[in-house]
Structure 1
Amino acid sequence: MIVLSAGRRNWIAQRPSKEILGVRMPRLHSQQQGNTSRRCRGVQVQAAKDVDFADRAVGALPYLVPLFDGIKYGRFLFLQFPFLPRLLAPLNPLISFYFSFPFASLIVFFAIYGGIVQNQNFSRFVRYNALQAILLDIILIVPGLLENILRPPSGGFGLSLYINAYNTIFLFVFLAVLYAMGSCLIGQAARLPLVADAADQQVR
């Protein structure tokens, strides 16, 4: 019989089990993480499948508002790349109708906020996307206010900066809307920069 001293017993108790007798124990923690990750992905896929077509369509439509309000910032890009207006050509009837009413943006804003975001009859998926869309539209107020305060430059570096600012705003809005609407149509909630956290916190 092997008798271990007290010091030896304490040393063994303090050593990790995989180092005792040179035996390497299986990495259960990594396997558990992998299983958990696979379960999480399964939940996400199932959640996407649970979003019906009506919710996907209603969730995507509010993103047209920031797109319409951001079109004016694409005027320089439209001159440089004529294919861009052609991409938006199918929306021309809706764009004309939208801008045919005074204060259309304000009216639609309150309609979406009161009729969708605050309406508990809609799913959280729909209300989250609706709020994210109107928050994106609110961001467009900032460059509009700055443009009203500051006189647009007539030439030189100031004009170049002005054009680049217009191009950047339009591309940001256009790509954000494209990504968000595409995500909605496949049943996933997009997280847009600057607005996703605020929308997530306000929609319960």
Structure 2
Amino acid sequence: MSSMTSSSSQGLGSTAFLAVGGAPPAATLRGSRSPPSTELRSRGTGSLLGRPQVTAHGTPAFWAALAASLPLAAPLAAGRKGRKEKRRSATRASLVSLRATDTDTDTDVDLVTQLQLEASKLRAEVVGLEGEREEQLQRDRLALFESFDLDGDGAIDDQELRLGLSGLGLEVDGLELDGPKATKIRQALDKNGDGKLQLEEFDLQAVRNLMEEWRVEERAADLAARAEERQSKELEAEKQAEQEKYASLPVRNDDVGLPTRLASVLAYLLPLMDVLRYGLFFAVLFPVLQVPFSYLDLISQVIGLFPFGLGYLALLLGMQELVKNTELPNLLRFNLRQAVILDFALLLPGLVGQVGSFAAEQAQVEVPMSAELGFAVNGVVFVLIWACVGYSTVSSLLGVTPAGIPYISEKAGAEINDTRPSDDGGSDKV
């Protein structure tokens, strides 16, 4: 019984030492009964548990300490084993990754090579198809050329070209090809100028393009001709309308008798009365003018008897109504209208003077005005009006329309141009 206990104790002790990384004594492993050593080394249980060292293996305290150290030895051994397994797993993963990388690289290289081979094969097929297509086009072109070359001499003349194009249904400007047009097409394609078309010169697409250009040119010429015709018709219609309107006008009264001439001269009394205020100093310088000035002033005073200037207004309106009467002699109507325009022209100097004075007042600028300058301006206005009246009087007394005053005569003639001359002629046309 004692021997079994000793043997069991020795086996347990060996197991404990192995668990904590130590080694049992040789005598214990061999089952020797020699007394245990009197001192536990630094790798014993006491150092692991932080307890006092045991001095003898066979004591109960030693075996109790050894049994208590077993739960601590197991996690240490397991941790050491786990770290070893992790290192082995990492190594295996690295090897697998390297093998996978090598496999992917090889796969990519094989795929690129395969795609390059496929691309080369497609290019070769495309080149082959293009060659076949070009050969087919050449055969079709030769067959078409032979269909035009009726006599088989290897060239197409004008007649063969015309017949071939007509057989294809090609037309120029909607009409069938004739000889001159076929010749024109052949001349456009005949590069060597031998009068015929060889195979290398024969180009049906060029023929179509040329015929299309002719169609465009013909269409443009047709549109231009239609526009010109339409414009000509419009001008003709306008001319006809003017002739119809002119024919509908009343016949002009070309009477130039003495009453007509005197009445034409009297029409200028209106501007002569209004211009007196500009020429009073001429009556002082030239006493001979005092008599006509006094008569004109008397007439002006009679007309001025009507309040608010109604006398002058009635005279102007009356003269304008006489101008509209197409039954009056043309000479009288013209002079009446020209006299009214001259009278309105006398308003311009006064209007300019008033505008200048108003502008000077607004700008607070004093404009020196000498008596000599005022006499000069008034004298220019007076002389111009008397010159126009004198010219019109002389022409009217001669029975000639006084249409020589710039701008004023043009305006007067335009307003009385509502009649047509009589067949037997008469005074000068205005």
> Structure 2-normalised TM-score?
0.33
Q: Which of 370, 382, 404 is 1:170 aligned to?
A: 382
1:64-102 Cα deviation digits (max 9, x unpaired): 101101111112222333322234334443232123224
In the TM superposition, what whole-angstrom CA distance separates every residue of 1:25-58 from its partner, at most 9, and x where no partner exists? xxxxxxxxxxxxxxxxxxxxxxxx9511221122
> Alignment partner of 1:77: what SS?
helix
Aligned to 1:140: 346
The residue number in structure 1 matching 2:372 is 160
Are the equivalent residues in 1 in contact too, given 2:395–2:402 (CA < 8 A)? yes
Which runs of 4 or more aligned residues in structure 1 lie more than 6 Å from their structure 2 counterparts after TM superposition? none
Aligned residue for 1:71? 276
* Cα distance between partner residues in 1 of 2:416 and 2:283: 36
Instruction: Pick 1 or 2: higher relative contact order, CA cutoff 8 A, min separation 6.
Output: 1
Matching residue's letter, 2:392 = A
Structure 1 residues not aligned, in runs of 5+:
1-48
Instruction: Identify the residue that residue 203 of structure 1 maps to in structure 2.
Output: 416
Amino acid of the structure 1 residue aligned with 2:394? G
Correspondence 1:31-180 to 2 at 5 A: 51-101=256-306, 102-103=308-309, 104-114=311-321, 116-151=322-357, 158-180=370-392
**CA–CA separation in structure 2 for the residues paired with 1:121 and 1:110:** 18
Distance 1:99 1:147, change over 3 A: farther
1:163-182 residue CA offsets vs partner (Å, 9 max, x unmatched)? 21101111111221122122
- Whether 2:387 is the aligned partner of 1:182: answer no
Name the counterpart of 2:406. 193
Pick the structure with greater CA Rg. Answer: 2
Normalised to the residue count of structure 1, the TM-score between the two structures is 0.66
Assess if the C-alpha contact under 8 Å between 1:76 and 1:166 holds in 2: no
Q: Secondary structure at the match of 1:189?
A: coil
Q: Which has the higher helix share?
A: 1
Q: How far apart are the structure 1 equivalents of 2:397 and 2:341? A: 20
Q: Tell whether the 8 Å contact from 2:256 to 2:329 is kept in structure 1 after alignment.
A: no
After superposition, the CA RMSD in angstroms is 2.7
Shift of 1:111: 0.8
**Structure 2 counterpart of 1:98, which letter?**
I
CA contact (8 A) 2:255 2:329 kept: no
Q: Hey, what's the Cα distance between the residues in 2 that align with 1:92 and 1:82?
A: 15
SS at match of 2:267: helix
* CA shift for structure 1 position 195: 0.5
Aligned to 1:171, what secondary structure does the other structure show? Answer: helix
1:197 counterpart letter in structure 2: E
Distance 1:143 1:64, change over 3 A: same
- Number of aligned pairs? 155
- Write the distance in 2 (CA, Å) between the matches of 1:146 and 1:105: 22
- Preserved contact between residue 56 and residue 126 of structure 1 (Cα < 8 Å): yes
Unaligned 5+ runs, structure 2: 1-253, 359-365, 418-430
Q: Distance in 2 between matches of 1:128 and 1:176?
A: 14
Whole-angstrom distance in 1 between the partners of 2:392 and 2:270: 13
Tell me what 1:28 maps to.
none
